[in-house]
Amino acid sequence: MSVVKINALTVPAEMRAALEQRFAGRAGMVEQADGFEWFELLRPIEGTDTYLVYTRWRSEEDFQKWQSSQAFEEGHRRAAAEAAANAPADGAGHSGPGHSGPGHPGGHGGAGAPAASGATLWSFEVVQSAAPGSD
């Protein structure tokens, strides 16, 4: 049974463009991960200001493996560097790029501020799904 992992990002209005640019230049590593099925960056239009990073995986194990992999770290290198530079020690980024290794000197996006000011991971099991013509 597939699982859906959604990272809900709090993004200040003035950082939206920066966030979307970061994703436009994302590492593209997740595509190679075993058990990876789908990714979407969802921009909020109405009802919420929260950006959603939607991912779907063949299994919980596949997601866990990716999350503890080099590929995950690589896909979040800049986010980790910025978080280390800016966030309080146990700030919002609990389950995310938690490595406090040496950051990249020099900043992308704004004055080196992280594009997201908070992140929360949601987990779901896919109970039903449909696609066009798949009945």
Residues binding ligand HEM (CB under 6 A): 5, 7, 22-23, 26-30, 39, 53, 55, 75-79, 93, 95-97, 115-116, 119, 121
The distance of closest approach from Cβ of residue 44 to ligand HEM in the complex, given in angstroms and rounded to an integer, is: 15
The CA distances from residue 59 to 42, 71, 90, in Å, are: 22, 18, 29
The distance of closest approach from Cβ of residue 130 to ligand HEM in the complex, given in angstroms and rounded to an integer, is: 23
> In this complex, which beta carbon is closest to ligand HEM, that of residue 18 or of residue 132?
18
The distance of closest approach from Cβ of residue 94 to ligand HEM in the complex, given in angstroms and rounded to an integer, is: 7
Closest CB to ligand HEM belongs to which residue? 96
Q: Helix, strand, or coil here: 14?
A: helix
> In this complex, which beta carbon is closest to ligand HEM, that of residue 28 or of residue 44?
28
Q: Where are the alpha helices (DSSP H) in 25-125?
A: 60-67, 70-75, 77-86
> In this complex, which beta carbon is closest to ligand HEM, that of residue 95 or of residue 100?
95
Tell me the C-alpha distance between 118 and 33, whole Å. 25
The CA distances from residue 105 to 12, 75, 77, 101, in Å, are: 24, 17, 12, 12
> In this complex, which beta carbon is closest to ligand HEM, that of residue 5 or of residue 132?
5
Tell me the C-alpha distance between 67 and 45, whole Å. 28
> In this complex, which beta carbon is closest to ligand HEM, that of residue 122 or of residue 134?
122
> 11 and 23 in contact (C-beta within 8 Å)?
no
The distance of closest approach from Cβ of residue 59 to ligand HEM in the complex, given in angstroms and rounded to an integer, is: 14
